[in-house]
C-alpha cells in the first residue's frame, strides 16, 4: 500500500468597510475595492432585494450615475436583477437558477463580480449562486439590514433552504469585500431594524461582558433606533464576529462546536415552523432567552444576570416567546442541529455573561419547563398595565422558578 499525503494552506483576506452613501459619486468604497483587484475593467452583475429599490426610488439612478462616474474601472453588465427579499427567497431555487443564467448570458468569469445588495437572505442566495458559478465568481456584499451588517454579511457562509431545512445547501466562501452603508438602515421598517440587534446581544453575552453592559445601558436608545447607538452596536458586533471567524481556528466549522450559533438551535426551528413569519433575529432573541434560562437553571449564571438578559431583550422590543416554541419537538430539533454541525451534540451555554461553555448533553425535560416558563412570563407581561414595574424572577432552593415580584425601575 502507498499513501500520498497532501497538505496546503489557503489564506483569505477581505475588507469590511463602514460608510454612508456608498453610491454617492465621490464615495470610493466600491470603486476602491474594485481597484484593488488590479484589473482595468471589472464586469459586475448587481443582484438586489426588490424592497430596497421600493424604499428608495432614487437608488437605481444613483447606481447608474455611480457607474458612469467610475466607468474607467467599473462596468455594470445590465440593470440590477431584482429578487424578493426575506427568508422566502431561500426556499425558491428559481432565484439561484436565474442568477446562474445571467452569469452565463453576460459571460462573467472568475475575475468578474456579483454585487449583492440586500438583507441576509438575499446575500445568502446571491452568494450561493456566485460561489457555484464557475466554482466561484467574486462576491461583493452590500448589506442593507441591521442583521446583515453586523452578522450575516461579514461571515464566510452562503446557503439556501432545502428539504424543509434552513441552510441545508450552501458553501463556505469568503466574500471579496463587504461594504456596510449605514444610509440603508434609514429606509428599513422598524421590525427589520430591531431584528438584527438580537445578534449583538448574542455575541456580547458569550464573548464580551463590557459590550453587553453597553447594550444594557443603551437599550432604550436602541429601542428608539438612535443612529449613534445603532452604528456603534453594528461595528462592535461585526468586529466580534470577524474576530471569532478569523481567530477561532475553525473558520469553516469543521468541528462540532459553533459558539456563534448560541440560541440558534431552537431559533432555526421557530423560523421553519412559522414559514419565516418570525424573522431570524426575532427567533434568535427567543433562542437566547431559552438557553439563558436553561443556563440559569443548571447554575451557570446568576439570577441578576438572567434578569439583565431578559430586560435587555424586552426593553429593546423583543418577545421572548412564540407559539412555535411551545410546539417545538426538542429531541428532533437537537438531533437536526447535531446533524447540521456534525459529530457529537454540542450546545453552547453561558458560563456567566461574557463567557461560554460547550455541553454535550441536554436535560430535555428541564428545557421543556424553561419553554413553559417563557410562555408564562409572556402571559404575565400581557396581563399587567403598561406602566407596571418589570417582573423579577425569583427562585426557591431548588433553583426552579416559583413566582415573580415587582422590581424597582432601572
Q: Which pLDDT tens digit goes with each residue over 123-139?
A: 999 999 999 999 999 99
d(CA 87, CA 193): 16
What are the residue ranges of helices labelled H in 208-254? 209-217, 219-223, 227-247
Average model confidence (pLDDT) across the chain: 91
Specify the 3-state DSSP secondary structure of 405: strand
- pLDDT value, residue 155: 92
Domains recognised in the chain with CATH numbers: 16-187 (3.40.50.1970), 190-240+254-406 (1.20.1090.10)
pLDDT tens-digit readout, 199-234: 999 999 999 999 999 999 999 999 999 999 999 999
Name the percent of the chain in helix, strand, coil, to the closest 5.
50, 15, 35
Label residue 386 by pLDDT band (50, 70, 90). Answer: low
The predicted structure's pLDDT at residue 404: 35
Tell me what pLDDT residue 239 has.
96
Share of the chain above pLDDT 90, in %: 80
HSE, side-chain direction, 13 A CA sphere, residue 344:
9
d(CA 49, CA 56): 12
CA distances to 1, 195, 313 from 4, rounded to whole Å, are 10, 50, 53
- Nearest-angstrom CA–CA distance, 17 and 111: 21
| pLDDT for residue 408 is more than 70 | no
For residue 90, how many other CB atoms are within 10 A of its CB? Answer: 25
Per-residue pLDDT of 46-98, as tens digits, reads: 999 999 999 999 999 999 999 999 999 999 999 999 999 988 899 988 999 99
Measured CA distances, 209 to 34, 262, 264, 307, 318 (Å): 37, 15, 20, 15, 20
Bridge partners (DSSP) listed for residue 157: 172
Residue-wise pLDDT for 174-201, tens only, equals 999 999 999 999 999 999 999 999 999 9
Cα–Cα separations (whole angstroms), residue 126 to 43, 113, 141, 397: 16, 11, 9, 53
Q: Which of 56-65, 377-386, 400-409 has the lowest mean pLDDT?
A: 400-409
User: Could you tell me if 262 and 291 are in contact, meaning their C-beta atoms sit under 8 angstroms apart?
Assistant: yes
What CA–CA distances, in Å, run from 205 to 78, 286, 311? 44, 14, 13
Per residue in 351-380, pLDDT tens? Answer: 999 999 999 999 999 999 999 999 999 998
Give yes or no for a contact between 148 and 73, defined as CB atoms under 8 angstroms apart: no
Q: Answer for the pair 12, 48: CB distance below 8 angstroms, yes or no.
A: no
- 243-267 mean pLDDT: 84
**10 Å Cβ neighbour count for 82?**
18
3-state SS string for 64-132: HHHHHHCCCCEEECCCCEEECCCHHHHHCHHHHHHHHHHHHHCCCCCCCEEEEEECHHHHHHHHHHHHH
State residue 312's pLDDT score.
Answer: 98
Amino acid at each position: 500500500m502507498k499513501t500520498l499525503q497532501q497538505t496546503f494552506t489557503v489564506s483569505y483576506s477581505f475588507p469590511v468597510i463602514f460608510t454612508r452613501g456608498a453610491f454617492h459619486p465621490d464615495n470610493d468604497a466600491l470603486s476602491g475595492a474594485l481597484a484593488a483587484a488590479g484589473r482595468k475593467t471589472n464586469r459586475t452583475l448587481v443582484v438586489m432585494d426588490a424592497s430596497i429599490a421600493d424604499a428608495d426610488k432614487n437608488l437605481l439612478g444613483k447606481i447608474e450615475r455611480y457607474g458612469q462616474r467610475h466607468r474607467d474601472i467599473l462596468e455594470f453588465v445590465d440593470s440590477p436583477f431584482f429578487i424578493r427579499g426575506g427568508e422566502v427567497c431561500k426556499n425558491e431555487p428559481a432565484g439561484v437558477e436565474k442568477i446562474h443564467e445571467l452569469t452565463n448570458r453576460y459571460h462573467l468569469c472568475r475575475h468578474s463580480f456579483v454585487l449583492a445588495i440586500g438583507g441576509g437572505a438575499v446575500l445568502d442566495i446571491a452568494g450561493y449562486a456566485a460561489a457555484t458559478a464557475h466554482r466561484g465568481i467574486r462576491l461583493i456584499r452590500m448589506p442593507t439590514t441591521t442583521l446583515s451588517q453586523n452578522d450575516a454579511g461579514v461571515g464566510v457562509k452562503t446557503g439556501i433552504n432545502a428539504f424543509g431545512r434552513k441552510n441545508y445547501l450552501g458553501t463556505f466562501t469568503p466574500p471579496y469585500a463587504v461594504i456596510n452603508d449605514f444610509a440603508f438602515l434609514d429606509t428599513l421598517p422598524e421590525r427589520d431594524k430591531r431584528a438584527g440587534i438580537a445578534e449583538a446581544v448574542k455575541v456580547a453575552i458569550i464573548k464580551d461582558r463590557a459590550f453587553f453592559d453597553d447594550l444594557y445601558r443603551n437599550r432604550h436608545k436602541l429601542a428608539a433606533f438612535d443612529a449613534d447607538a445603532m452604528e456603534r452596536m453594528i461595528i462592535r458586533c461585526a468586529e466580534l464576529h470577524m474576530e471569532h471567524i478569523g481567530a477561532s481556528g475553525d473558520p469553516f466549522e469543521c468541528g462540532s462546536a459553533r459558539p456563534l450559533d448560541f440560541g440558534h438551535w431552537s431559533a432555526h426551528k421557530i423560523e421553519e415552523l412559522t414559514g419565516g413569519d418570525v424573522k431570524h433575529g426575532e427567533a434568535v432573541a427567543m433562542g437566547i432567552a431559552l438557553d439563558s434560562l436553561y443556563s440559569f437553571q443548571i447554575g451557570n449564571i446568576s439570577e441578576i444576570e438572567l434578569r439583565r438578559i431578559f430586560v435587555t431583550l424586552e426593553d429593546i422590543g423583543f418577545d421572548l416567546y412564540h407559539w412555535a416554541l411551545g410546539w417545538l419537538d426538542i429531541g428532533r430539533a437537537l438531533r437536526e442541529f447535531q446533524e447540521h454541525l456534525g459529530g457529537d451534540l454540542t450546545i453552547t451555554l453561558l458560563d456567566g455573561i461574557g463567557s461560554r461553555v460547550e455541553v454535550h448533553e441536554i436535560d430535555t425535560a428541564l428545557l421543556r419547563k424553561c419553554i413553559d416558563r417563557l410562555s408564562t412570563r409572556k402571559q404575565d407581561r400581557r396581563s399587567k398595565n403598561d406602566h407596571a414595574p418589570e417582573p423579577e424572577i425569583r427562585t426557591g432552593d431548588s433553583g426552579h422558578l416559583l413566582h415573580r415580584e415587582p422590581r424597582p425601575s432601572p
